[in-house]
């Protein structure tokens, strides 16, 4: 075995440089940063396009300036959150997860990745993006030293790519699996996966990723003394990298070749490449690679019998990692090289001293890994134990809750019914107290009175009570919930100028469903919304159309010899929204309009007065008309301004 018989950790370091870049850029297609910044400068609108531009600039900033990467990710996240752009929010959470892997803030990494996964799952149909996030989890498991878990996760990703025949992603993930197998000292399996990845990348003609995987494969088999084949692979990778002008990976290739040259008695070539790399790594203060290169040069100097230079180089770099518990394996290898140099010089005492030191460091590193593995196993056992205990307690509590619910549901329903009656009483008292207030408030309360028709309330409560007596507790609970939500909506909206269409639709659906309950489902309803309208964005006066919906149900469908059909639509027409309420009820002539029952007349009068009040603020922007044909039905048409929450 050569001087670096325990050099597996060094080879892992070299490969990990390739791996990190390899994983992050996998599948990405970058634009030039200047082009993206130019697009951003001329794109003034705060929309989804701008949120995507921020994100693309952030990705392009990776590897150049992590502060810019974080700043543009922040901008993308803030704008996407403002726009409620779910997919972009999920992407930026994943980007944050990657950023915090760079800063070793693994708690924040996991937090953001879980946020991203959660959003993708809610959106549905995003398995591919969830799988992409798993690569970051793999890095996390590697960081905490759980390479078995990292391998399990990476194999899961690979199986997904194989199942969906995603060749490019499959080729890259084969390389990730290979590196993890190498980290677990399963060299034969690692080589097998590396070769599969190389073969697939050749077929795909992916030059950039192929060059990196050739470097990985060469580094792997050089650790098994297959120097000729390793040199061929790394040399091929170097030629690709020169064409791509990828300086980082050019250095990685040269560094691996320097190691091979030093091991195959070509010291001058080894020293030439090692010195080229050392000058760059020293400029960037890359201590790990500086130490590794000092060892490569030491082997070359030993071949030339220039022992003083070998010792001088090792002593210069050794203090950079000496005593660092994170680099016990590397320090062990440095001391082993000291041993070989002093042994070649004939200094037995110093040689034995460094050999014993190397052995002690190696054993300490092994003990530390064992302790970490034990700690992880203990932690996983305790976590699993707690999860099982929590699940058991959860099941017991669920069973107890079900038993209590079965025994007390009727009592709860009665209490809720009393509370609802109290709410209604409070509403009546409130209406009486507010009669003397300003005209606008009076109109709002009169509108509230028409909406809270006591006859309607009595019939709904009677239907709920009947359901409870039948012991249909589930249906009763649903009805009570719908009715309580409707009462709360009416109270909340009675004094608000505008609400969103989505809020309007919520109370409207509750109201119509309760009316269906009253009339034994004798009619159906349809709500149609123009695709140009965003329900969360459109604002409109609350409950404006309710009196006419009630008219259609109460009188239009009364004694109708066919199923009633109620149609409600919202259409955008330039700067207006057209609302239509149509039914297939009895209808009436224009002469009959003044003969409508008292409640209906009050609804029309209140709506007219309310429209007049609204027009004082909006200069005639609100309009409505009633068109009816006997035996065919009635149409009520509203035209209101197109007002939005977000411009």
In this prediction, residues 88-109 reach a mean pLDDT of 86
List, for residues 583-612, the tens digit of each pLDDT value: 998 888 776 666 654 545 566 777 777 788
Within 8 A by CB and 6+ apart from 60, the residues are 30, 31, 32, 33, 36
* Res 637: pLDDT: 94
Least confident span in 95-104, 138-147, 364-373, 416-425: 364-373
Q: How confident is the model over 249-301, as pLDDT tens digits?
A: 899 999 999 999 998 999 999 999 999 999 998 898 889 999 999 999 999 99
Query: In this predicted structure, what is the pLDDT of residue 313?
Result: 92
pLDDT of residue 381: 59
Predicted confidence at residue 7, as pLDDT, reads 35
What SS3 class is residue 103?
A: coil
Q: Are 178 and 170 in contact (CB under 8 A)?
A: no
pLDDT value for 523: 92
Model pLDDT, residue 312: 94
Domain boundaries, the chain: 245-320, 481-644
What ranges in 164-204 are assigned the alpha helix state H? 167-183, 187-204
Q: How confident is the model at residue 368 (pLDDT cuts 50, 70, 90)?
A: low
DSSP letters, 117-175, are: HHHHHHH-S-HHHHHHHHHHHHHHHHHTT-HHHHHHHHHHHHHHHHHTT-HHHHHHHHH
Distances in whole angstroms, Cα of residue 623 to Cα of each of 542, 578, 609, 640: 15, 10, 12, 7
How confident is the model over 240-249, as pLDDT tens digits? 989 988 888 8
Residue 357: how many CB atoms within 10 A of its CB? 17
Residue 605 has a pLDDT of 73
Q: How far apart are CA 274 and CA 263, in angstroms?
A: 13
Q: Kindly report, residue by residue over 499-524, the tens digit of the pLDDT.
A: 899 999 998 898 898 888 878 888 99
319-341, pLDDT tens digit by residue?
A: 999 988 888 888 999 999 999 99
Average pLDDT over residues 562-573: 93
pLDDT at 66: 80
Q: What is the dihedral angle through the alpha carbons of 571, 572, 573, 579, rounded to the nearest 10 degrees? A: 40
pLDDT for position 33: 62
- pLDDT for residue 596: 59
245-320 placed in CATH 1.25.40: yes
| Whole-number Å distance between alpha carbons of 84 and 47 | 10
User: What percent of the residues of the chain are helix, what percent strand, and what percent coil, each to the nearest 5?
Assistant: 75, 5, 20
Q: 1 vs 442, which has greater pLDDT?
A: 442
Give pLDDT tens digits for 66-83.
Answer: 888 889 999 999 999 999
CB neighbour list of residue 269: distance below 8 Å, 6 or more residues apart: 257, 258, 261
pLDDT digits 0-9 by tens, 173-217: 999 999 999 888 898 999 999 999 999 999 999 888 899 899 999
At the topology level, CATH places domain 481-644 in: Heat Shock Protein 90 (3.30.565)
Cα–Cα distance for residue pair 633/588, rounded to 1 Å:
8
The predicted structure's pLDDT at residue 510? 87
User: Given this model, what pLDDT does residue 41 score?
Assistant: 82
Residue 573 has pLDDT above 70, yes or no: yes
Report the C-alpha gap between 451 and 546 in whole angstroms: 7
- Interior/surface letters 446-460, b for 16+ CB within 10 angstroms, e for the rest: bbbebbbeeebbebb
Quickly state the pLDDT bin for 20 (edges 50, 70, 90): very low
The dihedral formed by the CA atoms of 549, 555, 559 and 562, expressed in degrees to the nearest 10: -30
Percentage of the chain beyond pLDDT 70 is: 81
């Amino acid at each position: 075995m050569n001087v670096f018989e325990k050099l597996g950790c060094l080879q892992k370091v070299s490969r990990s440089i390739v791996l990190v870049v390899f994983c992050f850029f996998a599948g990405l297609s970058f634009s030039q940063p200047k082009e993206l910044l130019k697009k951003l400068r001329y794109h003034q609108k705060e929309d989804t396009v701008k949120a995507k531009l921020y994100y693309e600039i952030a990705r392009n900033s990776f590897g150049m300036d992590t502060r810019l990467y974080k700043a543009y990710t922040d901008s993308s996240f803030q704008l996407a959150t403002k726009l409620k752009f779910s997919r972009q929010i999920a992407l930026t959470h994943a980007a944050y997860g990657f950023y915090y892997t760079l800063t070793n803030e693994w708690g924040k990494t996991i937090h953001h990745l879980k946020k991203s996964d959660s959003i993708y799952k809610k959106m549905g149909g995003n398995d591919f993006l969830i799988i992409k996030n798993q690569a970051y989890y793999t890095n996390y498991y590697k960081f905490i030293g759980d390479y078995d878990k990292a391998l399990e996760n990476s194999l899961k990703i690979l199986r997904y790519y194989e199942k969906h025949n995603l060749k490019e992603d499959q080729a890259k993930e084969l390389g990730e699996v290979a590196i993890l197998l190498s980290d677990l000292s399963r060299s034969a399996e690692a080589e097998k996966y590396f070769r599969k990845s190389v073969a697939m990348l050749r077929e795909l003609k992916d030059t950039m990723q192929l060059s990196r995987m050739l470097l990985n494969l060469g580094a792997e088999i050089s650790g098994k003394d297959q120097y000729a084949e390793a040199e061929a692979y790394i040399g091929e990778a170097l030629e690709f990298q020169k064409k791509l002008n990828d300086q980082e990976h050019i250095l990685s290739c040269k560094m691996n070749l320097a190691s091979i040259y030093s091991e195959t008695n070509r010291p001058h070539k080894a020293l030439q490449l090692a010195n080229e790399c050392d000058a760059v790594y020293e400029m960037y203060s890359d201590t790990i690679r500086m130490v590794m290169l000092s060892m490569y040069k030491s082997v070359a100097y030993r071949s030339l019998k220039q022992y003083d230079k070998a010792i001088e180089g090792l002593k210069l770099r050794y203090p950079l990692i000496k005593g660092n518990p994170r680099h016990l394996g590397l320090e062990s290898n440095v001391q082993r090289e000291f041993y070989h140099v002093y042994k070649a010089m004939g200094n037995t005492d110093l040689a034995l001293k460094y050999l014993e030191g190397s052995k002690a460091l190696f054993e300490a590193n092994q003990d530390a890994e064992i302790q970490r593995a034990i700690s992880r196993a203990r932690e996983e056992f305790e976590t699993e134990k707690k999860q099982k205990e929590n699940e058991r307690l959860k099941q017991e509590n669920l069973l107890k809750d079900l038993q209590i619910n079965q025994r007390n549901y009727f009592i709860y329903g009665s209490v809720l019914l009393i509370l609802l009656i109290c709410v209604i009483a409070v509403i009546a008292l409130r209406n009486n107290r507010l009669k003397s207030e300003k005209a606008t408030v009076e109109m709002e309360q009169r509108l509230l009175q028409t909406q809270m028709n006591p006859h309607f309330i009595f019939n709904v409560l009677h239907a709920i009570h009947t359901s409870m007596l039948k012991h249909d507790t589930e249906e009763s609970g649903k009805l009570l919930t719908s009715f309580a939500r409707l009462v709360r909506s009416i109270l909340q909206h009675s004094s608000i100028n505008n609400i969103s269409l989505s809020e309007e639709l919520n109370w409207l659906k509750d109201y119509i469903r309760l009316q269906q309950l009253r009339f034994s489902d004798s009619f159906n309803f349809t709500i149609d919304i123009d695709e140009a309208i965003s329900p969360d964005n459109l604002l409109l006066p609350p409950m404006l159309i309710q009196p006419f919906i009630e008219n259609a149900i109460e009188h239009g469908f009364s004694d109708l010899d066919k199923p009633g059909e109620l149609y409600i639509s919202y259409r955008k027409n330039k700067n207006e929204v057209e609302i239509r309420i149509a039914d297939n009820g009895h209808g009436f002539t224009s002469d009959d309009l003044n003969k409508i029952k008292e409640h209906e007349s009050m609804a029309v009068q209140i709506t007219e007065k309310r429209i007049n009040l609204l027009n004082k603020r909006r200069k005639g922007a609100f309009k409505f008309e009633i068109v009816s044909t006997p035996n065919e039905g009635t149409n009520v048409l509203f035209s209101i301004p197109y007002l939005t929450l977000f411009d």
